[in-house]
Amino acid sequence: MTEANMTSGRQTFIVALCILLAHVLQGRVSQAIAIRGAHPDFPLIVLACGATLLGGARGTMVGLWSGLLTGAVASVNYGSFLASRTLAGAFAGNLQRSMIRDSIVVPPLVVLSTTVVAEFIYAVMAPNAWLHHWRLWLRDTGGELVYNMVLSYPIYFLLRKMRIGHKVEDPFALRS
């Protein structure tokens, strides 16, 4: 096994561990900071940021892990959570090729688009969760989007500090 493969495995393990910790935080903190029913989705934020930094296949793997944990905690619509989080991880992981990851605008945009993808897939697969009270669902989802975008900065930069993703690019070779 090469050094690069060990590093990739370590990074994937750290993101998976962060997703597990985000689920614990979701159960403990999320409802306490809710505003009018809207609350952040910590596991989805960590998934979006981590999958973007890891890349396609590993992003899909951590998406599957997040879907398993989210479905296990929710205990309803298990398959919908599993599919939506797996596909959201694949989506965020494949964004890696088309953006500058260390830009200040990347974390909220990645989390915004990944949250929209995950919520859309979940809504399509489990319409009974929102169909009869769609205004409330839209309000709560909009609040979740705002919360997730605001919290994307600390989570994204924390993952970068833990050296998740490729090393910071130095286009002008200022560092030796």
Tell me the β-bridge partners of 86.
none
- List, for residues 62-106, the tens digit of each pLDDT value: 999 999 999 998 878 889 999 999 999 999 999 877 776 678 888
Residues 116 and 63: their CA atoms lie apart, in Å, by: 15
- List, for residues 118-172, the tens digit of each pLDDT value: 999 999 998 887 888 889 888 989 999 999 999 999 999 999 999 898 655 555 5
Q: List the chain domain ranges.
A: 3-161
**What is the residue-wise DSSP string for 158-176?**
HHHHTT-SSPPP-TT----
Q: Specify the pLDDT at position 56.
A: 87
Residues 123 and 106: their CA atoms lie apart, in Å, by: 25
Closest residue by Cα to residue 104 from 56, 149, 42: 149
- List, for residues 31-54, the tens digit of each pLDDT value: 888 888 789 999 999 999 999 999
| Reported confidence tier of residue 2, pLDDT bands at 50, 70, 90 | very low
Residues 110 and 52: their CA atoms lie apart, in Å, by: 8
Note the CATH architecture for domain 3-161.
Orthogonal Bundle (1.10)
